[in-house]
Amino acid sequence: MSIPLSNPDITQAEIDAVVGVLRTPNLSLGPKLPEFEEKFARYIGTKYAVAVNSGTSALHLCMRALDIKDGDEVITSPFSFIASSNCILFERARPVFVDIREDTLNIDESKIKEKITGRTKAILPVHVFGYPADMEKITSIAGDRDLAVIEDACEAVGAQIGVSKVGTFSDCAVFAFYPNKQMTTGEGGMIVTNDEKIYSLCRSMRNQGRDDGMQWLGHNRLGYNYRISDINCALGIAQVKRLESILAKRSNVADLYKKALAALPQVKLPPASRKDMTRSWFVYVVQLEGISAAERDKVIERLKEAGIGASAYFPAIHLQPFYTEQFGFKTGDFPVCEKISEKTVALPFYNNLTEADIDTVVGKLGSILEEIK
């Protein structure tokens, strides 16, 4: 028996789309790039989209487009994939962490104001695990202090606040399409914005600093090779067409988990959608109550030994070795983040996970917890 942690949902439509590109001479910077960008921007509800080779690259270009530089500070969450903080360091700015909310695992908007200084340039909220951060309060704080807002929506494609999708509440936002995400391009990311200047700068910087109409060896500014191939874009176009059905499948899997895990009182379930907010299910992360971090790690190890994918999501960024060495962060700096990080377990989660597989996962988890107890 083997139940992986994640598994991309690839159909014949995606295969045909990729093969179609391989039959043309346009493997990069071809017609699939603008088509993917236009379809994705329309789905999210923004004027512009810029496709790149990863969510990390997308975050980096947003930093540069907003002129975040040496000495600036960006307020963000310590409970995230490390790229949301690393992209700040790429420009020699400093990530300023704010602890998280225990109920949503997102940045605690009530603690943001106390971290703002004269060097603060932007706020970078992360929609953790596809659960939207409180963008109304965050954008209000930013607006009062003339700060930029960058949404890290890499885990939240399709999530909504009211009738608006995440990615539409900020100066710019980023999405990612790694194979464990809701939709995938293999590797890839996307910047969305309504700001024409940000759009133009990101388009130029992803392609070695070239502007539209320039000769291939002309460069107006420092740029990068953050291009994404037409092969990836063709895969993305096919996935966007299926995205609503993909999200519905994932929501159904989450509902099956909720039902199956009800029999395990030690397991705290992730928050679901609310009346005013729709979650996009990226991963299924539970918290194990009443056991130590070491025992949690043992649970993960035992699940893996049984052929069931599992992982700790997320380790606290500020306690990663580089961050403790560089900035002097220590245990106790962000207690809610640290407490949650020691209890979380990501269980297998993907579109076509069956009810029988879920019962197997939950049954094994239950027996392991009984033995530990």
Give the pLDDT mean for 149-173.
Answer: 98
Res. 114: pLDDT tops 90: yes
Instruction: Tell whether the model's pLDDT for residue 67 goes beyond 90.
Output: yes
Alpha-carbon distances of 339 from 128, 297, 314, rounded to whole Å:
16, 14, 11
* Predicted pLDDT at 327: 96
The three-point CA angle 267-159-106 to 5° equals: 55
Q: Quick one: which of 6, 24, 56 has its CA closest to 233? A: 24
| Res 214: pLDDT | 73
pLDDT digits (tens, 9 = 90+) for 303-320: 999 999 999 999 999 999
- pLDDT band of residue 216 (cuts 50, 70, 90) is confident
pLDDT digits (tens, 9 = 90+) for 248-267: 999 999 999 999 999 999 99
Supply 118's token pair. Answer: 């004269």
**φ, ψ for residue 274 (rounded to 5)?**
-115, 175
Q: In angstroms, what CA-CA distances link 13 with 6, 164, 202, 240?
A: 20, 28, 30, 11
What was the pLDDT predicted at 291? Answer: 95
CA distance between the termini of the chain? 26
Per-residue tokens: 5: 């942690």
Mean pLDDT of 117-133: 98
For residue 1, the 8-state DSSP code is -
Pairwise CA distance, residues 70 & 102, whole Å: 32
The pTM of the full predicted model, rounded to 2 decimals, is 0.97
Please give the backbone phi and psi of residue 323, each rounded to the nearest 5 degrees, phi first: -75, -35
Q: Is residue 135 very low, low, confident or very high in pLDDT (cuts 50, 70, 90)?
A: very high
**Residue % of the chain over a pLDDT of 90:** 95
Look up residue 134 and give its amino acid. Answer: D
- Tell me: pLDDT of 213 over 80: no
**Average pLDDT for 27-33:** 97
| pLDDT score of 131 | 98
For the chain, domains (ranges, CATH) are 12-241 (3.40.640.10), 244-372 (3.90.1150.10)
Amino acid at 298: K
- Looking at residue 33, its amino acid is L
Tokens read off for 303: 């699940």
Closest CA to 32 of 19, 46, 21: 21
pLDDT at 212: 83
DSSP 8-state secondary structure symbol assigned to residue 146: T
Count Cβ atoms below 10 Å from residue 293 Cβ, excluding itself. Answer: 14
pLDDT higher than threshold 80 for residue 63: yes
Q: Does residue 373 have a pLDDT over 80? A: no
Please give the backbone phi and psi of residue 28, each rounded to the nearest 5 degrees, phi first. -150, 145
